[in-house]
A and B are shown apart, each in its own frame.
Chain A
């Protein structure tokens, strides 16, 4: 340690010991985003407030909505059938309107386990699950899960039998996929609200199973 980092004046912590500030923009795409945003505001196409409101709207969406939908699919076979048949139409009942994209629900079973990725970018069912986790957008996840799904799932703490087909679903186009995880055993008497608490974000991406009734995973 040198100079200003040394202990002084009777207390012994470093004054450089604080969390660094958010990084200043350095990349071309960051400058492009700033320039575009400022132009839109300057030319009156959008106001700064409208842009912030839109960001807030998206950040407010959360996987809890997805969990509500999956819980209903677990308890209501007819609802599940409709969800699998036409997810866009069915999620309207939960107040979610998706017009341009095709929402697709995939059912996990002991025989077939879906796990979703977007190898091209970071396509994600945002209207249902909110903003994707950082790892979902990482090159590591995107390049590895398509080639070594069992190793990747293991790192998520998910071990599946060799008798289960793992189907990695690459959302390369206009579809956004929601996984309906397998309903854990021992949950027969639970209410929809109780069930929803077992349905985690990762279980709706397919990197994990739903929690079991005592909060663990099978």
Chain B
């Protein structure tokens, strides 16, 4: 269902490593974030990459991650710093 996620939903990025053309970065798999924006529906890039039509289209969300938690303190950032990525609904799990 497309209404499963809303702006404000807390989500986890699926911690899976299937082969193929995937646009969910490795460093975010299994990480927890917050949906801050819904961009609408876009053709599924995991199908487009193989010459398919990319249908059904997928909801695409901007997900916000806290740097401190994502990198477990190991990096060059201040406690307020964040990062975002654009993630298709098939990679999101409500928490």
List residues of chain A with CB under 8 Å of any chain B CB.
102, 104, 119-120, 146-152, 162-175
Contact = CB atoms under 8 A, between A and B. Distances in A.
A152 B76 CA distance: 9
Contact of A163 (B74, B76, B80): B80
Interface string B60-95: 101010010001001111111111111110000000
B78 A166 contact: yes
B62 to A, nearest CB: 8
Contacts of B87: 172-173
Contacts of B83: 146, 167-170
A174 B42 CA distance: 7
Contacts of A165: 80-82
Interface of B: 23-25, 27, 39-40, 42, 45, 60, 62, 64, 67, 71, 74-88
A151 B45 CA distance: 33
A140 B20 CA distance: 24
A148 to B, nearest CB: 3
Contacts of A152: 76
B76 A150 contact: yes
B84 A167 contact: yes
Contacts of A151: 76
Contact of B27 (A102, A146, A174): A146
B84 A169 contact: yes
A137 to B, nearest CB: 16
Contact of A166 (B77, B86, B88): B77
Contacts of B84: 167-170
Query: Most chain-B Cβ atoms within 10 A of its Cβ — which of A104, A149, A165, A173?
Result: A173
B25 A173 contact: no
B36 to A, nearest CB: 10
Given A173-B60, A174-B86, A175-B39, A150 B24 contact: no
9 contacts: A147-B67, A148-B77, A149-B76, A162-B80, A168-B67, A169-B84, A170-B86, A173-B23, A173-B86
Nearest to B60: A173
B85 to A, nearest CB: 4
A178 to B, nearest CB: 15
Nearest to B62: A175
A120 B25 contact: yes
A179 B40 CA distance: 21
Given A147-B74, A173-B60, 8 more contacts: A119-B25, A165-B81, A167-B64, A167-B82, A167-B83, A174-B39, A175-B60, A175-B86
A150 B81 CA distance: 9
A137 B82 CA distance: 21
A102 B87 CA distance: 14
Contacts of A172: 23-25, 85-87
A171 B85 CA distance: 6
Contacts of A174: 39, 42, 60, 86
